[in-house]
Chain A
Amino acid sequence: MEFDTQLLYPSDQALLALMIFIIMLGMGASLTVGDFRAVGRRPRGVLIGFMSQFGLMPLVAFTLAIVLNFHPAFAIALILIGCLPGGTTSNMFAYFARGSVALSISMTTASTIMALLMMPILLELYASGFTQQISEAMRAEGVEGEFVIPTINIISSLLLVLIPVAIGMFIRRNWPDWAKTAEDTAGFMAIIVILYLIGTAFVRHGGLFLQTPITVYIGAICVGLIGFLFGYWFSRLWGVPPIFQRAISLETGIQNGPLAFAVILLSFTDPIQSQMIWLAILYSTFIVITSSFITLYFRKKGRFDYEVHRNTVIHNRLFGDNYVTHYPAGFLPKRIAHDPSQGSSPSQIREVEKV
């Protein structure tokens, strides 16, 4: 399909820009310098998360684009989404999914920084085939020139987006109360703006929903879902504790949606910009729904191991770091009993004992 009209009016673009600014401000407001330092303290989790985010996710997006035979513009958008760093939404979902919020935050910060390096490389790697298709299509229409991924633009738009993040962190540092408000407002804003964009798209281009091939819907939904699935099993294969598995899973599937809008708006032009935006809108909508369900599922599944973990953490908090909690034989299922890192201190090594 081709878009004959512009999807976003200039007023929408301004609104989107404002939203991105506020959300990134909110993201910054939820971070502290300590969070960056904390990355160094749990290198293993962050590294596995990194592999999952920048190794698996772009591959998943690429494979989906191929398998579903995407139009190149959609394909590039999907791959772009696959290469994005994680957003702060994943921290909230990790919290409710009884995952490790600390790891989620560490992964978000680490991946946001790493994206500056990884995104251009990954886009070059996975999207170059599709850019050739676009170039050929352009030449077929008699348009001169070559379509290339605007690497420099992408990097500079990423840098641009990091400015409100820095402002947010500054606010958090100096006015912590304000920062909390900014965080909540940002989350609320995001939902409103996404709904507004869908609403206007529906009103203005009602046919768009029908025109969009079903495969695009499948791709927009599945990229997140497969991300959750792979992230979970990948981290589980590495033997990290359940709370880390849930955090990595969510972090892999949930990408920084607003960043996608920013990069697309600042680095790409029509004819493909509208299509890319459309896919980003679809992804952002579906990911909220899918991650809500995944969160509910994780929350239920992780209830027991999380409770045991919390109890251990609180025992260490109140009784000292050297306190070791011994549960009765048979109380802990094997998977948790043999998990050495459930506690917060190195002394928390629990074995199944015979009483």
Chain B
Amino acid sequence: MIYRITAPNLAELYRKAAEHYDSLPAFATRINALKWHPVSFRELYEQGLNLATGLIEIGVGARDHVGHFGDNRFEWILADYGVQLCGAADVPRGRDVTDDELVYIINHAHIEVTFVETELLQERILYLRDELPNLREIILLDPEGTPEPGVRSLNEVIEIGARLRAEGDRRAKERIKDIQPDDLFTLIYTSGTTGQPKGVMLTHANMISQVESIPSRHNCADRVVSILPIWHIFERVFEMYTISFGACTYYSSIRTLSEDLKNVEPTFMGSAPRLWEKLHERILKNVRESHPVRRALFRIAYFLARNYKDSLYFLNDKKLKLRPYPEWRRLFLAPLHALRWLLVVPWYGFFNAAVLERIRLGAGGSLKATVSGGGALPIEIDKFFNYVGIPVLEGYGMTETSPVIAVRKSDDLVIGTVGPPIPGTEIRIVDYETGEVQYPNDNYPYEGRGRKGEIWARGPQVMKGYYRQPELTEQIIQDGWMRTGDLGMITHNDCLKILGRCKSTIVLSSGENVEPEPIEMRLQQSPYIDYCMVVGQDQRFLGALIVPVLDELRKIGYHDYSLDELASDTTVQNIIRNEIKGAISTTNGFRRYEQIRDFRLLPQSFQVGDELTNLYKLKRHVIENKYAGMIREIYNIEPVTVE
């Protein structure tokens, strides 16, 4: 049974949710494993109205930007309610925001009033206060923390509002009426090593379009566990989406997640690839350590599940088709798959019930679907969970598209793709160099399906622009088309497949964006390093491929060595390691996640025309392909098997 509400803007959505779902729990916070504190839609809305009125009283105007620094907790969403209900927009960032970013964001976004989550953040802001001329009010979220002089507690502002509302203050409701679909609901600053953070302007219409068009089968008897950073747009869409169908969001944390999954038994959840990698590791570890009989049962179960699902995907025409698949071949193979399916199904039925169900119980056992986003999900892990019966729907998007561009649907699940574009979204595949549209293009066979290029997206979710950076906005949005900078193709199933990045930006599996050039430039300052390329797309940490300088190493005693011999010499490796450590350090202004944890010395130098362009720029794709084995070695990637 599908049951959901929608509204022209978030404030209206909050109001309608309170009206509709009333005393149902909206958000729950963990006190201990079996004790959680629920807050109902009604309570949250009333508190939010009080806060909004309080905010208006302390001078927050309509369409003002309110700072919102902190991580997942109930007060975060309450503050968000307050901001939305007074017609303002919030500017969120997590606790790990650096001082430079704080100063930049607060000044660039003209923030006058800000929320801070913890005492530590409060101290940091107070310390930076001289650099923040516009900042008037600081509100501390943590109810256990003590506000410094000049700082208000969240409760204080709520009480101001509550008093005013009791006296008949209706300003918040007027503000709600005044909200236009084109008004910002948030301004998210994305980090980047090059240049300053960019403020992504997302409107109510952006968010509402997402809430309305995400394929759903949920209702108010569902449970959603929240684990991703709350200020991340991917998680925020889930929060809004969950409010729209009236389910309760349970705030979990990395530390307690496996326990919470068992107690809350979520039916839906958003997650990053890393989470599934970890869960996969844990399941396999448990299997390895279990009794030989159980281990054998698991292997049989997995084998059956694989055969069963593979045939099922084939018969339902859900097999990944990168090339056109002739119909005669399908018709020829279909009976064979039907036969395999029939042979496997009774056994699968038993093993699915007896063995695979236990694995699903590890994730609570009630998951109808989970959406993975924020990075590429390794295909073997993707297959593993879909085979054992936890439907992992991979999605694709970016902050600038608030964020979903495409996502798999439960009933249209093609493994290896990120699914079809969501309704109302157009996709174009454009050649990165020539600018020629590859798809849809009638001059190519199959309208250009299967051709690679940069993904362009147009739809109601595309941002309004970068705040106060129109020239940057013009570069990235042309004629409504958002250039994603990602390389992809439309498969012959009409699903989108992501193939990598056009730009050099590396996205780690933790979701951090890293620009490799500054790191490479810093490394190449070392006398011993000739060329280097930073790698780590979708990995946990950065690695580097390095070409050492032969002459310099000869000077310090490695006379007759060739590059090939140097590459395997441990003393040389130590020299380079120390160089890297010295260069990419926090004292040199690099962040923790930007540090190079492992590297490989290359046996040959880079050649112009081969690995380098005429302008000595790295051809990243060429190098990645050539040294794919080494990169796999850095990350210890073995083909994932069930052994």
Interface residues of A (CB under 8 A from B): 92, 95-96, 177-178, 180-181, 184-185, 187-188, 191, 292, 304, 307-308, 310-311, 314-315, 317-320, 323, 325-328, 331, 355
B window 1-51: CB within 8 A of A? 1, 3, 19-25, 28, 34-38
Please tell me if the beta carbons of B22 and A328 are within 8 angstroms of each other in the complex. yes
Please tell me if the beta carbons of B24 and A325 are within 8 angstroms of each other in the complex. yes
A244 CB to nearest B CB, Å: 19
B428 within 8 A of A: no
Provide the B229-273 mask, 1 if CB < 8 A to any CB of A, else 0. 000000000000000001000100000000000011101000000
Please tell me if the beta carbons of B291 and A177 are within 8 angstroms of each other in the complex. yes
Known: A177-B291, A314-B264. A307 touches B221 (CB 8 A): yes
B window 336-384: CB within 8 A of A? 346, 349-350, 353-355, 357, 366
A310 to B246, CA, bound (A): 16
Please tell me if the beta carbons of B350 and A188 are within 8 angstroms of each other in the complex. yes
Nearest A residue to B355, CB-CB: A184
Please tell me if the beta carbons of A317 and B34 are within 8 angstroms of each other in the complex. yes
Please tell me if the beta carbons of A180 and B220 are within 8 angstroms of each other in the complex. no
Please tell me if the beta carbons of A181 and B221 are within 8 angstroms of each other in the complex. no
Please pick, from B25, B354, B366, the residue contacting A188 in the complex, using a CB distance under 8 A: B354
A328 to B17, CA, bound (A): 11
B331 within 8 A of A: no
Please tell me if the beta carbons of B22 and A318 are within 8 angstroms of each other in the complex. no
A188 to B223, CA, bound (A): 34
Please pick, from A177, A181, A304, A314, the residue contacting B1 in the complex, using a CB distance under 8 A: A304
Known: A92-B353, A188-B354, A318-B34. A311 touches B221 (CB 8 A): yes
Please pick, from B19, B34, B219, B223, the residue contacting A331 in the complex, using a CB distance under 8 A: B219
B window 151-174: CB within 8 A of A? none
Known: A318-B264, A326-B23. A191 touches B350 (CB 8 A): yes
B222 within 8 A of A: yes
B57 CB to nearest A CB, Å: 31
A191 to B349, CA, bound (A): 12
B261 CB to nearest A CB, Å: 12
Please pick, from A95, A181, A187, A323, the residue contacting B350 in the complex, using a CB distance under 8 A: A187
B637 within 8 A of A: no
Residues of A within 8 A of B265 (CB): 310, 314
Provide the B454-477 mask, 1 if CB < 8 A to any CB of A, else 0. 000000000000000000000000
A325 to B28, CA, bound (A): 14
B294 within 8 A of A: yes
Please tell me if the beta carbons of A355 and B19 are within 8 angstroms of each other in the complex. yes
B293 within 8 A of A: yes
Knowing that A177-B291, A317-B263, A326-B22 touch, tell me 9 more A-B residue pairs with CB under 8 angstroms.
A188-B354, A310-B221, A314-B263, A315-B25, A318-B264, A328-B220, A328-B246, A331-B219, A355-B19
B121 within 8 A of A: no
Could you pull out 17 A-B pairs where Cβ atoms are within 8 angstroms? A96-B357, A177-B291, A181-B293, A184-B293, A184-B354, A292-B349, A310-B265, A311-B222, A314-B223, A317-B263, A318-B28, A319-B36, A323-B38, A325-B24, A327-B24, A328-B3, A328-B220
Residues of A within 8 A of B222 (CB): 307, 311
Please tell me if the beta carbons of A318 and B21 are within 8 angstroms of each other in the complex. no
Residues of B within 8 A of A326 (CB): 22-24
B126 within 8 A of A: no
B102 within 8 A of A: no
B72 CB to nearest A CB, Å: 17
Please tell me if the beta carbons of B293 and A318 are within 8 angstroms of each other in the complex. no
A178 to B19, CA, bound (A): 52
B549 within 8 A of A: no
B553 within 8 A of A: no
- The CB with the most chain B CB atoms within 10 A, among A92, A178, A187, A331, is that of A331
Please tell me if the beta carbons of A308 and B23 are within 8 angstroms of each other in the complex. no
Residues of B within 8 A of A311 (CB): 221-223
A67 to B177, CA, bound (A): 74
Interface residues of B (CB under 8 A from A): 1, 3, 19-25, 28, 34-38, 219-223, 246, 250, 263-265, 267, 291, 293-294, 297, 346, 349-350, 353-355, 357, 366
A180 to B3, CA, bound (A): 40
A44 CB to nearest B CB, Å: 25
A45 to B567, CA, bound (A): 74
Residues of B within 8 A of A331 (CB): 1, 3, 219-220
A315 to B350, CA, bound (A): 31
A327 to B264, CA, bound (A): 19
Please tell me if the beta carbons of A318 and B297 are within 8 angstroms of each other in the complex. no
Please tell me if the beta carbons of A319 and B291 are within 8 angstroms of each other in the complex. no
Please tell me if the beta carbons of B291 and A307 are within 8 angstroms of each other in the complex. no
Pairs A-B, 8 closest by C-beta atoms: A318-B36, A311-B221, A308-B221, A307-B221, A326-B23, A184-B354, A181-B293, A181-B291
Known: A308-B221, A328-B246. A92 touches B354 (CB 8 A): yes
Nearest B residue to A326, CB-CB: B23
B287 CB to nearest A CB, Å: 13
Residues of B within 8 A of A319 (CB): 25, 28, 36-38
Known: A292-B349, A318-B34. A184 touches B294 (CB 8 A): yes
A96 to B361, CA, bound (A): 13
Residues of B within 8 A of A304 (CB): 1, 221
A257 CB to nearest B CB, Å: 15
Residues of A within 8 A of B346 (CB): 292
Nearest A residue to B246, CB-CB: A328
Please tell me if the beta carbons of A180 and B24 are within 8 angstroms of each other in the complex. no
Nearest B residue to A315, CB-CB: B25
B610 CB to nearest A CB, Å: 57
A242 to B221, CA, bound (A): 17
A181 CB to nearest B CB, Å: 5
A326 to B23, CA, bound (A): 6
A180 to B20, CA, bound (A): 45
Please tell me if the beta carbons of B22 and A355 are within 8 angstroms of each other in the complex. yes
Residues of A within 8 A of B38 (CB): 315, 318-319, 323
Nearest A residue to B3, CB-CB: A331
A85 to B463, CA, bound (A): 65
A327 to B21, CA, bound (A): 7
Residues of B within 8 A of A180 (CB): 294
Residues of A within 8 A of B264 (CB): 314, 318
Please pick, from B35, B37, B297, the residue contacting A184 in the complex, using a CB distance under 8 A: B297
A325 to B34, CA, bound (A): 17
Known: A318-B263, A331-B220. A96 touches B353 (CB 8 A): yes
A95 to B354, CA, bound (A): 11
Residues of A within 8 A of B223 (CB): 311, 314
Please tell me if the beta carbons of A181 and B349 are within 8 angstroms of each other in the complex. no
Please tell me if the beta carbons of A328 and B20 are within 8 angstroms of each other in the complex. yes
Residues of B within 8 A of A184 (CB): 293-294, 297, 354-355
Please tell me if the beta carbons of B220 and A327 are within 8 angstroms of each other in the complex. yes
A320 to B34, CA, bound (A): 9
Residues of B within 8 A of A187 (CB): 350, 354
A292 to B347, CA, bound (A): 12
Nearest B residue to A311, CB-CB: B221
B433 CB to nearest A CB, Å: 51
Please tell me if the beta carbons of B294 and A327 are within 8 angstroms of each other in the complex. no
A319 CB to nearest B CB, Å: 5
Nearest B residue to A305, CB-CB: B221
Residues of B within 8 A of A320 (CB): 35
A310 to B297, CA, bound (A): 29
Residues of B within 8 A of A310 (CB): 221, 265, 366
- The CB with the most chain A CB atoms within 10 A, among B19, B23, B28, is that of B23
Please tell me if the beta carbons of A327 and B354 are within 8 angstroms of each other in the complex. no
Residues of A within 8 A of B34 (CB): 317-318
Please tell me if the beta carbons of B28 and A185 are within 8 angstroms of each other in the complex. no
Nearest A residue to B250, CB-CB: A318
A177 to B291, CA, bound (A): 9
Please tell me if the beta carbons of A327 and B221 are within 8 angstroms of each other in the complex. yes
A159 to B209, CA, bound (A): 67
A255 CB to nearest B CB, Å: 19
A172 to B241, CA, bound (A): 44
B443 CB to nearest A CB, Å: 47
Please tell me if the beta carbons of A188 and B297 are within 8 angstroms of each other in the complex. yes
